[in-house]
Amino acid sequence: MTNEGLQKCINGWFPEQEAGALEFTEEGSQFLNITVQPGQLHQLMWQLKSDSETHFDYLFCLSGVDWGEELGVVYHLESTTHRHIAVVKVKTGDREHPVLDSVCDIWATAEFHEREVFDFFGITFNNHPNLKRLFLTEDWVGFPLRKDYEDEVNMIIK
């Protein structure tokens, strides 16, 4: 499906009063980018996977990003039947206690990837079966991939 087709199809799932919650853009990226509010994340993801028109069954990349004011997650999705790609972004302004919904129940690969994001960005995922640090030790203080992380001993800044 083309990017326009995808956009039309996805907008059709949400009633009019909610439609404004999704933002679509292709600017500065080779894929269609969909920005979603945290509250609608799980519903949108479930639809993207289960709807036969979109059928995004392959989550090939899940990255945490620190945008400065906001923390968030970027999901790269591909359909193995239609071979189209879309990118879903979700952001939260709460840097103290960032919480998002887990998508583990939709794509099994998210379990490890979300643990990585929790480890390095400190984003908590609701309904994650085993959310704990993955690479770092349990007693590590802070979240190293955040932009405001400081470690005078181990970091060399030029």
Partner 1 sequence: MPMEITPTATDSFKSQEYFINMGPQHPATHGVLRLLLTIDGEIIKKVEPDLGYIHRSIEKMCERDSYQQIVHLTDRMDYLSSHINNEAVCLVVENALGLEVPERVKVIRTIIGELTRIASHCLWWGVMGMDLGAFTTFFLGFRDREMINDIFEETCGARLTMNYNVPGGLMLDIHPNFVNRVKKFVAHFKTKIPEYDELITGNIIFQKRTKGVGILSREDAISFGASGPVARASGYSCDVRKYHPYSALDKVTFTESLKTGGDTLARYEVRIREMWESLSIVEQLIDNIPEGDHRVSTNAVIKLPAGEYYQKVETARGELGVYVISSGTKSPYRLKFRSPGFSNLSVLNHIAVGSKIGDLVAIMATIDLVIPDIDR
CA distance 36 to 34: 6
143 near partner 1, judged by CB under 8 A: no
Give residue 76's Cα distance to chain centre. 8
DSSP state of 124: E
Query: At closest approach, how far in Å is the CB of 37 from partner 1?
Result: 20
Query: At closest approach, how far in Å is the CB of 151 from partner 1?
Result: 10
Judged by CB under 8 A, the stretch of 1-9, 10-18, 39-47, 58-66 that binds partner 1 is 58-66
Of 1, 87, 91, the residue nearest 45 (C-alpha): 87
Which ranges in the chain belong to alpha helices (H)?
3-13, 16-19, 41-50, 110-121
* DSSP 3-state of 110: helix
Contact string 82-101 vs partner 1 (x = CB under 8 A): -x---x--------------
The site for partner 1, by CB under 8 A, has a size of 36
Query: At closest approach, how far in Å is the CB of 96 from partner 1?
Result: 21
136 near partner 1, judged by CB under 8 A: yes
46 near partner 1, judged by CB under 8 A: no
